[in-house]
């Protein structure tokens, strides 16, 4: 008997049912596999709607069966047996039953096709994703590797020996901890042991695939468990060595906070915003390089500057796009800024903070709040009050002036026209002068800007044209 929670998948008028009938009429078997089956069994919603299918049809035949039926068809994965499609807003991936093995020297798998569903399921990453659902002629769950039992146990186990599964596709080692983070499942001990032994094999996987898994793992509801799994098996050291370097040796005379444990805790405190959590992951990576011991204890002066540089370098290695890199590294660079204003927030300090944070302002405030993991409740309350005061001061100044559009009252064209100079460094210097005055004093009229320019030009022997 099919559980009620699977009803949306097995309805005759649903996309999976309609597609399965189309393949059956064409003489082919088609089954639902992977995440859509797993999540339906767990009662988890999937947004956007995505379905993975497996079939005995070869890629060219899949293409014949979906063209004219699907709203759009994609063939980028054709060489690996996968045809993508869009139907009524749902994303579909249809893959020929296969057996794939990575060559030792290559990032690309060697793919051989199969006519047997059980063989195909054996090559899936984990048993909880190796449970299939046949939809025609009648709904039937196909579970040759005990995936239903593992779902109930909330365990991540590979269908074949983990050494075989991780050799086929080393990215599965990282995916193991992605599912720990997202689903809250426990890894099978044999899988953990295999990761520890085979972790260096992850190096043959493309940076793009690794960073895609990181992005999915970092927003999971159980992200701390996922991170600790990667760290304790040594897998994190293969692609995030800056994070494992945070496990600083504790000096018996100058004790300091466990930076690695603190970092993992901060990530866990952050809301599931990918950019904020990645910034939290990297926010203290500059500490090992800047640690010093002195009469007042351990210090990490300017670790945010070093950390921002290390963050940019690592994210470039992982092929993140420039917008993500600048946002994440920017948050790392700015995360200590609120702590420099322990005596209170002046208007000038608030303007500079808002100007420097720019569109990252709300995320920065979130990161700073989550960066408080001290057990000293008095210190924690003091830091929280400081951020509360900052946000109150921002709100007040926003009502008084255009705080989000901090700029001088005149632009570069007006500067050039008034001074009679062409574009160049002098224009930049003049605008910097006017901006600094805006930050210090708040809004001021154009007349005052021109007076300042006139005095500035006289000091440099420039005769204004205006």
* Domain encompassing residue 413: 407-459
- 287 and 385 part of one domain: yes
- 104 and 9 part of one domain: yes
- 274 and 340 part of one domain: yes
| CATH number, residue 30 | 3.30.460.10
Can you list the alpha helix ranges (DSSP code H) found in 57-201?
59-66, 117-122, 147-153, 162-168, 171-183, 189-198
- Considering the domain boundaries, does residue 197 fall inside one? yes
- Considering the domain boundaries, does residue 131 fall inside one? yes
- Considering the domain boundaries, does residue 464 fall inside one? no
Query: What pLDDT sits at residue 145?
Result: 97
Can you list the alpha helix ranges (DSSP code H) found in 53-125?
59-66, 117-122
The residues of the chain scoring below 50 in pLDDT are 249, 251-255
Q: Are 278 and 263 in contact (CB under 8 A)?
A: no
- 380 and 285 part of one domain: yes
| CATH number, residue 199 | 1.10.110.30
> Could you give the number of structural domains in the chain?
4
- 355 and 258 part of one domain: yes
pLDDT in tens, 210-220: 999 999 999 99
- Considering the domain boundaries, does residue 310 fall inside one? yes
- Considering the domain boundaries, does residue 42 fall inside one? yes
Query: What pLDDT sits at residue 258?
Result: 84
- 165 and 114 part of one domain: no
- 35 and 162 part of one domain: no
- 184 and 142 part of one domain: no
Q: How far apart are CA 54 and CA 58, in angstroms?
A: 10
- 342 and 221 part of one domain: no
3-class SS of residue 187:
strand
Query: What pLDDT sits at residue 231?
Result: 97
Query: What pLDDT sits at residue 101?
Result: 67
- 182 and 218 part of one domain: yes
Query: What pLDDT sits at residue 385?
Result: 82
Q: Tokens 């599965």 sit at which residue? A: 172
Query: What pLDDT sits at residue 254?
Result: 41
Q: How far apart are CA 326 and CA 320, in angstroms?
A: 10
Query: What pLDDT sits at residue 293?
Result: 74
Query: What pLDDT sits at residue 316?
Result: 97
Which candidate, 301, 296, 313, 189, places its Cα nearest to that of 241?
313
pTM: 0.84
Mean model confidence pLDDT for the chain: 89
| HEC string for 353-393 | HHHHHHHHHHHHHHHHHHCCCCCCHHHHHHHHHHHHHHHHH
pLDDT in tens, 258-269: 889 999 999 999
- 437 and 399 part of one domain: no
- Considering the domain boundaries, does residue 465 fall inside one? no
Q: How far apart are CA 20 and CA 14, in angstroms?
A: 10
- 145 and 198 part of one domain: no
- Considering the domain boundaries, does residue 438 fall inside one? yes
Instruction: Kindly give, in sequence order, each residue whose CB lies less than 8 Å from that of residue 315, ignoring residues fewer than 6 positions away.
Output: 324, 325, 328, 329
- Choosing from 234, 269, 286, the residue where a domain stops is 234
Which candidate, 151, 220, 215, 231, places its Cα nearest to that of 186?
151
For residue 461, CA distances in Å to 114, 419, 437, 458 come to: 82, 11, 22, 5
């Amino acid at each position: 008997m099919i559980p009620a929670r699977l009803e949306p998948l097995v309805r005759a008028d649903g996309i999976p049912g309609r597609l399965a009938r189309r393949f059956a009429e064409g003489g082919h078997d088609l089954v639902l596999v992977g995440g859509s089956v797993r999540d339906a069994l767990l009662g988890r919603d999937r947004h956007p709607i995505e379905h993975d299918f497996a079939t005995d049809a070869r890629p060219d035949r899949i293409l014949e069966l979906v063209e004219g039926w699907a709203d759009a068809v994609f063939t980028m994965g054709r060489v690996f047996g996968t045809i993508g499609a869009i139907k009524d807003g749902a994303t579909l991936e249809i893959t020929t039953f296969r057996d794939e093995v990575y060559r030792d020297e290559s990032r690309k798998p060697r793919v051989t096709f199969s006519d047997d569903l059980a063989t195909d399921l054996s090559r899936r990453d984990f048993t909880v994703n190796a449970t299939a659902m046949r939809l025609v002629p009648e709904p039937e769950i196909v579970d040759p590797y005990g995936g239903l039992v593992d779902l109930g146990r909330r365990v991540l186990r590979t269908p074949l020996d983990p050494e075989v599964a991780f050799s086929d596709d080393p990215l599965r080692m990282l995916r193991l901890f992605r599912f720990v983070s997202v689903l809250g499942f426990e890894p099978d001990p044999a899988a953990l042991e295999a990761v520890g032994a085979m972790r260096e094999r992850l190096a043959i996987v493309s940076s793009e695939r690794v960073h895609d898994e990181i992005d999915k793992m970092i927003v999971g509801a159980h992200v701390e468990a996922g991170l600790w799994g990667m760290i304790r098996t040594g897998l994190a050291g293969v692609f995030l060595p800056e994070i494992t370097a945070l496990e600083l040796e504790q000096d018996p005379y100058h004790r300091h906070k466990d930076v690695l444990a603190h970092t993992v805790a901060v990530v866990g405190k952050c809301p599931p915003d990918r950019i904020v959590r990645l910034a939290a992951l990297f926010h203290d990576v500059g500490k090992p390089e800047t640690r010093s011991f002195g009469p007042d204890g351990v210090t990490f002066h300017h670790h945010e500057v070093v950390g921002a540089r290390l963050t940019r370098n690592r994210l470039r290695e992982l092929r993140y796009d420039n917008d993500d890199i600048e946002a994440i590294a920017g948050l790392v660079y700015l995360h200590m800024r609120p702590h420099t204003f322990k005596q209170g927030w002046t208007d000038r300090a608030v303007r500079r903070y808002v100007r420097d944070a720019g569109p990252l302002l709300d995320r920065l405030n979130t990161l700073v709040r989550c960066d408080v993991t001290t057990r000293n409740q008095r210190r924690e309350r003091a830091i929280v009050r400081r951020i509360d005061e900052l946000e109150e001061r921002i709100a007040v100044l926003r009502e008084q002036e255009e705080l989000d559009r901090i700029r001088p009252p005149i632009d570069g064209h007006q500067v050039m026209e008034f001074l009679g100079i062409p574009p160049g460094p002098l224009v930049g210097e003049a605008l910097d002068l006017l901006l600094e005055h805006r930050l210090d004093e708040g809004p001021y009229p154009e007349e005052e800007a021109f007076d300042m320019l006139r005095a500035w030009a006289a000091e440099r022997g420039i005769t204004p044209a205006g």
